[in-house]
A and B are shown apart, each in its own frame.
Chain A
Amino acid sequence: GAGVSQTPSNKVTEKGKYVELRCDPISGHTALYWYRQSLGQGPEFLIYFQGTGAADDSGLPNDRFFAVRPEGSVSTLKIQRTERGDSAVYLCASSAGGALHFGNGTRLTVT
């Protein structure tokens, strides 16, 4: 079946704008994770969903970041008032328990 799909693959936006990043997980996977990765660094945990609810959102850096998963499938990561420091690759992964299956990420560039 299809893997984890993330759209868009690349997003360039101006400082101060609002962006939405979408993640379509593997069908049937109840767990969904968002990570942020800067060049040369490991994935930084942002938020983890179990079903529709955020089981752990302790990694969201501030209140400009918000994520939803209303029907327990597709998830959207929302960033308000983007800053240049938000530039990174945003990775989504899903799991049925055990291993994570990653998408190819969205490369966000804030100019």
Chain B
Amino acid sequence: SQQGEEDPQALSIQEGENATMNCSYKTSINNLQWYRQNSGRGLVHLILIRSNEREKHSGRLRVTLDTSKKSSSLLITASRAADTASYFCATVLFNNNDMRFGAGTRLTVKP
């Protein structure tokens, strides 16, 4: 079963704008991760945030985590056409290491 749910399902912006994607989950987690996927093939890990962290940065990426609301957000600043992809959040629970993904947000960045 899926654990995380991303919102929105699809997002279309102009190059240079910021893109924000949200993820909500249901049960307590050990950590939450964001992945990117091009063309329906393998996913690429972007960033991991632990349950005791509130915010992390990596280049143009900023991730926040609110465990009280069971939600996370991924912000991509100064977007580029090459950022066009599907973005997924994945949660790792405390009691095991299996990882469950949401349905993803399809981001389109128009040049």
Contact = CB atoms under 8 A, between A and B. Distances in A.
Contacts, number: 63
A2 interface: no
Interface of A: 4, 31, 33, 35, 37, 39, 41-45, 48, 50, 55-56, 89, 91, 93, 95, 97-105
Interface stretch (B60-68, B70-78, B101-109): B101-109
Q: Which among B35, B101, B102, B103 has the highest number of chain A CB atoms within 10 Å?
A: B101
Given A43-B88, A50-B97, A55-B98, A91 B103 contact: no
Given A33-B98, A45-B98, A55-B96, A99 B42 contact: no
Given A35-B101, A42-B102, A50-B97, A89 B40 contact: yes
Contact of B45 (A31, A42, A100, A104): A100
Contact of B42 (A33, A42, A45, A105): A105
Interface residues of B, number: 23
Nearest to A98: B48
Interface of B: 1-2, 31, 33, 35, 40-45, 48, 88, 90, 96-104
Q: Helix, strand, loop or mixed for chain A's interface?
A: strand
Given A42-B104, A43-B88, A99-B33, A104 B99 contact: no
7 contacts: A45-B101, A48-B98, A48-B99, A89-B40, A100-B33, A102-B44, A104-B42
A48 B31 CA distance: 17
B103 A104 contact: no
A56 B93 CA distance: 12
A104 B88 contact: no
Given A99-B33, A99-B48, A43 B98 contact: no
Contacts of A39: 40
Given A55-B96, A56-B96, A105 B41 contact: yes
Contacts of B40: 37, 39, 89, 105
